């Protein structure tokens, strides 16, 4: 495991941690590491936090693009709670890293939102591919980025989403290299959980979905794809982030890709 | 459609033909064409007809290798009937083409078995990938060999089966080229019908399963695999044929690959 992870307060967290342990570690104990592979029985979610004026359009955008944007919960305006996903849960503090955006430009990466919170902010929680990794690992399918302690590799594609109002843009995918037999099983396993992206949207040649260089992900960390493996691509919850950035709202907040909110919901409930 | 098919009594048969129409066409009307795409709602089966002395081992071989050898029915010794698969059904006459084998050598291709039938012959009927093609086509997935009026391409692989007694050998696969999105859907669709080979066993690079040249199938007809497609491979009912040939029984009968027995059973029942 890279030193960077160990120095981010992750040393005490593991696949067996409870969701609340991970949230409290982020809230109080300086945990700022990525969440791939921690509390692995639990649903992890992507966050998009937007001014209320944009909330209706964004909700509709998610509904029209359910594979990259599987909507699991929406907050009341101004509330940092998401009671459907956990009772002791504060979206302002419980994510290891957040990105702050103004007019489509990232202006800061922070570990706490309390200083910039506003009464009109609406939080959207979207399903994340980390959630189905638990099922893949349970089926004996090895995931290279997990075994190497890296963030999953993510790429912008040439597959457009269906636009609503100011929200539009390309589908972002996460990629996991697998032998063909595992890829076939992974299709069957992930197809069962449409709330966390469902089946892959592409397998094989990355150029066919507009990825020029598989070795240079747009988000996360590169992993090797061996000669006897296929890259397998799932729609990714970073997709709505890309749409939000392109929409250039005067202010918004996202989680940092790979640094998710870990909820009390179990993957087995999906 | 190639002339060869039209001259084989196939002109009046179609995807909408009844199973009995196909069997009667083979029995009485000189239909000797392949059955890909005809009576497409019906389960088509591979046949292996063996002396009773080998039947127990062959049955066990099928049970240990259910993906290539999905056993749907077994006859009484000497009986040409398979009542589970159709009441007006005679395995001696209802298949368009048969291969006769002696000591592992093919000695004849015939259209009727009555002249060579024996009282000790046991017929094994095994699920066939043609059956799931109906579900794929219904889902809007185009199958090149069907649209081009060809037999499906089949290959011997380096994937061994589990041997029983004299029966052993490589897994034979059928191949259908597809765009990745269709391949992903095809995995989900075919996984639902393990009685007809289930999900694919390989996707992508043919060399990884011992196929040196995708353009030269061991059985059936070659079809093009375009640059934006993946070859998708399913375990194939020709596998037990290969095992039988290798076992070199003093006498046995198989259907000719692609020229199947069409049963009254509906694919929707599987």
CA atoms within 13 A on the CB side of B25: 25
Which of B219, B220, B225 lies closest to B206 in space, CA to CA?
Answer: B225
β partners of residue A98: A110, A255
Whether residue A95 is predicted with pLDDT greater than 80 in this model: the reply is yes
**Residue A26 DSSP one-character state:** H
Q: How far apart are CA A24 and CA A89, in angstroms?
A: 9
Sign, CA torsion A73/A76/A79/A81? negative
Nearest CA in chain A to B200: A184
Which residue of B185, B201, B228 is in closest CB contact with A181?
A: B201
Would you say domain A130-239 falls under CATH 3.30.2040.10?
yes
| Torsion, Cα of A225, A226, A229, A234 (10° steps) | -10
Grade residue A15 by pLDDT with cuts at 50, 70 and 90: confident
Exposed (0-12), middle (13-18) or buried (19+): which is B96, by Cβ within 10 Å?
buried
Neighbours of A81 (CB within 10 A): 17
Scanning A164-193 for CB atoms below 8 A from B yields: 180-181, 183-185, 187-188, 191
Inform me whether the C-beta atom of residue B202 falls under 8 Å from chain A C-beta atoms.
yes
Provide the phi-psi class of A8: left if phi over 0, else alpha when psi is between -120 and 50, else beta: alpha
A235 pLDDT higher than 80 = yes
pLDDT of A42 over the 80 cut: yes
CA atoms of B167 and B157, how far apart (whole Å): 16
Nearest to A184 among B180, B200, B208 (CB): B200
What is the predicted pLDDT for the residue at B174?
94
Instruction: Tell me how close the Cα of B133 comes to any Cα of chain A, in angstroms.
Output: 18
**pLDDT at res. A6:** 38
pTM of the complete model: 0.81
Buried b (16+ CB within 10 A) or exposed e, B73-94: bbbeeeebbbeebbeebbbbbb
Distance CA A191, CA B191 (A): 11
pLDDT at A107: 96
pLDDT in the model for residue B8: 56
Note the pLDDT of residue B184: 97
Shortest Cα–Cα distance, B102 to chain A (Å): 36
Q: Which of B139, B173, B203 to mutate to test the interface with A (most CBs of A within 10 A)?
A: B203
Q: Which of B181, B186, B231 best tests the A interface by mutation, with the highest count of A CBs <10 A?
A: B181
Beta strand extents in chain B (DSSP E only): 42-51, 71-74, 98-102, 105-110, 121-127, 153-160, 170-178, 202-203, 230-235, 252-255, 261-266
Residue A5 pLDDT class (50, 70, 90 cuts): very low
Classified as helix, coil or strand, B144 is helix
| CA distance between the termini of chain A | 30
Q: In the prediction, which pLDDT does A3 show? A: 35
Contact A198, A191 (CB under 8 A): yes
Cβ–Cβ of B180/A228 closer than 8 Å? Answer: no
Q: Which of B188, B203, B228 sits opposite A180 (nearest CB)?
A: B203
Task: Single out the residue of A62, A16, A70 nearest to residue A45, CA to CA.
Answer: A70
> What is the predicted pLDDT for the residue at A2?
38
Q: ipTM of this model?
A: 0.77
Buried/exposed code over A100-113 (b: 16+ C-beta within 10 A; e: otherwise): bbeeeeeeeebbeb
Q: Which of B188, B208, B228 sits opposite A187 (nearest CB)?
A: B188
What residues in B contact A202, CB-CB < 8 Å?
Answer: 180-181, 184
pLDDT at A4: 39
Token digits for B164?
A: 């029983």
Picking from A180, A191, A228, the nearest residue to B188 by CB comes out as A191
Contacts A191 to B, Cβ<8 Å: 188
What pLDDT was estimated at residue B237? 86
Between CA B145 and CA B160 the distance in angstroms is 27
Flag whether residue B158 sits within 8 Å of chain A, measured between CB atoms.
no
CATH number for the domain whose boundaries are B16-128+246-264: 3.40.1640.10
| Predicted confidence (pLDDT) per residue in A164-223, tens digit | 999 999 999 999 999 999 999 999 999 998 888 899 999 999 999 999 999 999 999 999
Q: Which pairs count as long-range contacts for B101-106, CB under 8 Å and 24+ apart, including other chains?
A: B101/B244, B101/B245, B101/B249, B101/B251, B101/B252, B101/B253, B101/B254, B102/B250, B102/B251, B103/B248, B103/B249, B103/B250, B104/B245, B104/B246, B104/B247, B104/B248, B104/B249, B106/B245
Residue B129, token pair as written in the block: 């990938």
| Per-block mean pLDDT, blocks of 10 residues, chain B (270 long) | 44 86 93 86 92 96 94 96 96 97 95 96 91 88 90 94 95 96 96 89 97 95 96 93 91 91 90
Residue with tokens 């009727």: B112
- Cβ pairs A/B, distance under 8 A: 52
Domain definitions of chain A by residue range: 130-239
Instruction: Write the DSSP string, B28-61.
Output: HS---S--TTSSTTEEEEEEEEEEGGGHHHHHHH
Nearest CA in chain A to B207: A228
């Amino acid at each position: 495991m890279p030193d960077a992870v160990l120095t981010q307060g992750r040393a005490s967290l593991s696949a067996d941690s409870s969701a609340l342990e991970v949230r409290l570690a982020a809230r109080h104990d300086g945990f700022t590491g990525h969440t791939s592979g921690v509390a692995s029985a639990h649903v992890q979610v992507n966050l998009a936090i937007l001014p209320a004026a944009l909330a209706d359009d964004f909700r509709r955008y998610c509904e029209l693009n359910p594979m990259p944007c599987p909507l699991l919960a929406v907050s009341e305006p101004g509330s940092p709670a998401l009671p459907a996903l956990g009772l002791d849960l504060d979206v302002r503090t419980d994510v290891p890293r957040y990105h702050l955006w103004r007019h489509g430009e990232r202006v800061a990466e922070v570990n706490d939102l309390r200083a910039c919170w506003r009464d009109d902010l609406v939080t959207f929680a979207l399903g994340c591919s980390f959630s189905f990794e638990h099922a893949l690992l349970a089926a004996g399918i090895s995931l290279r980025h997990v075994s190497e302690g890296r963030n999953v590799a993510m790429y912008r594609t040439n597959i457009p989403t269906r636009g609503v109002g100011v929200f539009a843009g390309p589908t972002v995918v996460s990629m996991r290299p697998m032998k063909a037999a595992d890829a076939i099983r992974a299709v069957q396993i992930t197809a069962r959980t449409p709330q966390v992206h469902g089946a892959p949207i592409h397998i094989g040649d990355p150029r066919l979905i507009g990825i020029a260089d598989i070795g240079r992900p747009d988000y996360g960390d590169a992993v090797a794809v061996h000669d006897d493996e296929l890259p397998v691509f799932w729609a990714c919850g970073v997709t709505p982030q890309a749409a939000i950035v392109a929409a250039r709202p005067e202010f918004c907040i996202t989680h940092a890709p790979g640094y998710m909110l870990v909820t009390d919901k179990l993957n087995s409930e999906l």
